A and B are shown apart, each in its own frame.
Chain A
């Protein structure tokens, strides 16, 4: 079979399994995950020469890799240097780019997605379950909207989705930001799951506070639960505008907010503070604000639903290990280390990804500690970027 055909076959199987989990969210047996992960690894080893050589240098090949834990992970830094794709690039590809970081010399990583449908299939069921609340959450929302009409089961990959939330996205539209995987995801869930009246609330220059307020007031007036999608920073900015204007809106019961980013202290804000203010300005309790952890290099996401505890849940096709950042050996429960994800939705690029995020396992759940802050300054010797920047700053 040609490589595209083999990948297509795997992608189709994965799409079906993802959708099935959306209808019946039961854990997967470990051997099923392992078998699918190894199929993805074999394809990537065979058809991504750069990755094949990377594996060979580490003595790994399909004959020696005997389980998903042994798949050599691709460091996120690699995405800044190469495009990793099993299939040849094509006109229908999505090309997502990371934001540039100081550590990466300002260069941006690229993740080419040759199978957009696989991405859609991977993002929808977890969003429905963890953000819209699965059957229980949708039932609550449905009752709030229709005077007690319970919502049915099955927010799968498409048309059967129950559109009981009016979704408003404060994230820049995909049309405006075609290299943002977050924008793609928000647009997709808005179209897939949004009740009539769902709409984009951000323009070219970011969130449109006026439009967002009108949206919230509309939901409140119509008694339709809202689902707001925002970066934590964008949500914070909008809440500030509401506070400055002395405005608050009581969103209907069942309303929910999905915020992304905004780890403790990062971006100069405390998420707990944002949550407190969201309750005060919008009437959405912290337990209904779901933190999304996604990254450009991964096509699946994790979600944190417990206020004050950064525990993250995800779909069964995304497994995460906590590794010692020096040795890459697995760490025991409770010890913080670097996160290594194996994401079957990445079948077309890199199924195992070694991140620069720190986390630990607690009671079998993943606790996200945060993005590694970069090496602390040591002594009086600095990176040249800082030296040059400092000189520039002095003019």
Chain B
């Protein structure tokens, strides 16, 4: 791989350092330094010292400005940093570069200075409480207080939407922590691109962020050292990864976990099937349906699911024509074929199941089927079902309580009832289709504020 996928301030220079070899699922190979316990300590020391030094020297507004400038460059395909980021992402994920650029510029919408200020404003009433003692603001008024994250945050990425590693690092920097990051093996390089842009923008902040990768079954020295040194550990990933990290962190209060969830789309009775389908197709195709917000199940409430499925098929065809998509790997292709075959033969056998599929396995829509909750985690594959009304939909979705990230909707008829249902299911948000894949910068990620779980508060009585 061309880009350097690590950024380790304070790493002692040493001749003949061993390296760790990695390979992304798309086949891009890369190398990172193998960290000894001493190396991991040295990096943690440097990042911690830089973060604490930054607290004395830089206002949070400057942190926001610098982080937004660096992230903005990474998201901008006309900037050399953006070109490096897009080509790194494209190579790591096996994505056409246009798709990588589109994903980065979409993520970049929540990395702007305005967006970051919105997050701080919404959760903390402004930056004052991060910069010093204050008795103003929206949170806990009436007594002087200040807040900051721990000097060191350790962020573990085991699987996420491309770009989330940057978002997570920025959140850590906003609460004035030094950030140690174990990058995702699927795309280790993007955060390093951001770190280099950040260093160019504000060197002290660049030294407040370290990122590297190690294999799932290795990196014990780094694991142990960084877990011990960090005041809090943040993990993004599947259930197994989250469990693994939970087992390493001594106290529950020291762990902030973002586990797997899924998105659900609902076409309400008055929705235009065509418009709902177009908006849904855009949400499905955004960053290859890899997000916890990404819709995998769609329900036509009070309307014909086959009509919605057909229109969705047309819209997906247009989406894949608009922007080239990566070919599925062998295992994914086999799994998509299997899902299609099952649905097709169920239909041939007389059951009410229809499968619509694009050339080259580009997209798949399955309408009907016995299990209205079945999804398979396959790219650009949506299952569409019917529901007589929102009440029936509630019974169907009941088992997913606590596992729904976003309920996307089209139409207005019955919307309040659907919103109530989303709340009952513990969904984090309800949003119009077409906006499902791109939550606002200040959204409640996994139903929680973004900065508050990272903060420690001190009140001056």
Interface hit among A210-218, A310-318, A383-391: A383-391
Among A293-328, those with CB < 8 Å from B are 325-327
Contact of B329 among A78, A376, A387 (CB under 8 A): A376
User: Does A237 sit at the interface, judged by CB under 8 A?
Assistant: no
Complex CA–CA separation, A50 to B350 (angstroms): 9
A contact residues around B25 at 8 Å (CB): 376, 378
Q: Is B375 touching A380 in the complex (CB atoms < 8 A)?
A: no
Residue of A nearest to B239 (CB): A390
7 more A-B residue pairs beyond the given contacts A358-B331, A374-B335, with a C-beta to C-beta distance below 8 A = A53-B348, A76-B338, A327-B360, A337-B330, A338-B330, A375-B376, A382-B377
Chain B positions 350-400 with a Cβ under 8 Å from a chain A Cβ: 360-361, 371, 373-379, 399-400
A228 at the interface (CB under 8 A from B): no
B339 to chain A, nearest CB (A): 8
Q: Tell me the complex Cα distance, A354–B340, Å.
A: 13
Q: How far is the CA of A354 from the CA of B296 in the complex (A)?
A: 26
User: Judging by beta carbons under 8 Å apart, are B159 and A380 in contact?
Assistant: yes
Question: In chain A, residues 338-395, which have Cβ atoms closer than 8 Å to a Cβ of chain B?
Answer: 338, 354, 356, 358, 372-388, 390-391, 393
Q: Are B291 and A326 touching (Cβ within 8 A)?
A: no
**Is there a chain A Cβ closer than 8 Å to B287's Cβ?**
yes
Chain B residue contacts of A393, Cβ below 8 A: 239
With A325-B337, A387-B262 known as contacts, the answer to whether A380 contacts B160 (CB < 8 A) is yes
Residue of B whose beta carbon sits closest to that of A337? B330
- A102 to B, closest residue via Cβ: B376
Instruction: Report B-chain residues with C-beta under 8 Å of the C-beta of A381.
Output: 260-263, 289-292, 294, 296, 377
What residues on A are CB-neighbors of B164 within 8 Å? 380
Do B341 and A388 have beta carbons less than 8 Å apart? Answer: no
From B237, B371, B377, give the contact of A375 (CB < 8 A). Answer: B377
| Cα distance A79–B261 in the bound complex, in angstroms | 31
B333 located at the interface, meaning its Cβ lies under 8 Å from any Cβ of chain A in the complex? yes
How many angstroms from the CA of A75 to the CA of B378 in the assembled complex? 18
Q: Select one of B239, B330, B349, B403 contacting A336, CB under 8 A.
A: B330
Contacts of A384 in B (CB 8 A): 262, 296-297, 373-375, 400, 403
- What is the CB-to-nearest-CB distance from B102 to chain A, in angstroms, rounded to a whole number? 16
User: How many residues of chain B have a CB within 8 Å of chain A?
Assistant: 59
Contact at B342–A326, with CB atoms within 8 Å?
no
Bound CA–CA A72/B291 (angstroms): 36
Q: Is the CB of B327 within 8 A of A105?
A: no
Among A78, A336, A380, contact of B341 (Cβ-Cβ < 8 Å): A78
Within 48-107 of B, Cβ neighbours of A (below 8 Å) are at none
Q: Which residues on the B side are within 8 Å of A378 (C-beta)?
A: 25, 159, 186, 288, 290, 377, 379
The 6 closest A-B CB pairs, nearest first, are: A379-B290, A75-B341, A390-B239, A325-B333, A81-B345, A77-B341
Cβ of B260 and Cβ of A390 under 8 Å apart? yes
A-B CB contacts (within 8 Å), total count: 166
Given contacts A78-B345, A104-B342, A384-B374, contact A354 B337 (CB under 8 A): yes
Question: Do B331 and A376 have beta carbons less than 8 Å apart?
Answer: yes
Which of B262, B297, B344 lies in contact with A382, CB distance below 8 A?
B262
Chain A positions near chain B (C-beta within 8 angstroms): 50, 53-54, 75-78, 80-82, 103-105, 325-327, 336-338, 354, 356, 358, 372-388, 390-391, 393
Q: Which residues of B contact A373 (CB under 8 A)?
A: 331
What's the nearest-Cβ distance from chain A to residue B348, in Å? Answer: 4
A29 to B396, CA, bound (A): 57
In B247-278, which residues have CB < 8 Å from any A CB? 258-263
Q: Indicate with 1 or 0, residue by residue over B395-418, a CB within 8 angstroms of chain A CB atoms.
A: 000011011000000000000000
Q: Tell whether, in the assembled complex, residue B400 and residue A377 are in contact, meaning their CB atoms are under 8 Å apart.
A: no
Say what secondary structure dominates the interface of chain B. Answer: mixed
The CA-CA distance from A82 to B343 in the complex, in Å, is: 11
Residue of A nearest to B350 (CB): A50
B239 touches A50 (CB 8 A): no
B297 to chain A, nearest CB (A): 8
Complex Cα–Cα for A105 and B344 (A)? 16
CA distance A375 to B339 in the complex (A): 11
B299 at the interface (CB under 8 A from A): no
B292 smallest CB distance to A (angstroms): 4
Within 8 Å CB of B159, what residues of A? 377-380
* B260–A50 CB distance below 8 A: no
Nearest CB in chain A: distance from B324 CB, A: 14
If A81-B345, A325-B333, A387-B260 touch, does A379 touch B371 (CB 8 Å cutoff)? no
Residues of B within 8 A of A377 (CB): 159, 238, 377
Taking the nearest CB of chain B, how far is it from the CB of A353, in angstroms?
11
Q: Compute how far the CA of A78 lies from the CA of B400 in the bound complex, rounded to whole angstroms.
A: 28
Q: Report yes or no: A375 in contact with B348, Cβ–Cβ below 8 A.
A: no
Question: Is there a chain A Cβ closer than 8 Å to B226's Cβ?
Answer: no
Nearest neighbor of B353 in chain A, beta-carbon distance:
A81
Least CB distance, B202 to chain A, in whole angstroms: 30
Q: Cβ of A387: which chain B residues have Cβ within 8 Å of it?
A: 239, 260-262, 400, 403
Quick one: which of B160, B338, B360 contacts A356, CB cutoff 8 A?
B338
A375 to B335, alpha carbons, bound, how many Å? Answer: 6
Q: Are A379 and B291 in contact (CB under 8 A)?
A: yes
Contact B161 A379 (CB under 8 A): yes
- Which residues of A sit under 8 angstroms from B161, Cβ to Cβ? 379-380
- Say yes or no: A372-B335 contact (C-beta < 8 A), given A105-B371, A381-B294, A384-B262: yes
Structural contact, B238 and A382, CB atoms closer than 8 A: yes
Q: Does B458 contact A (CB under 8 A)?
A: no
Separation of A359 and B360 alpha carbons in the complex (Å): 20
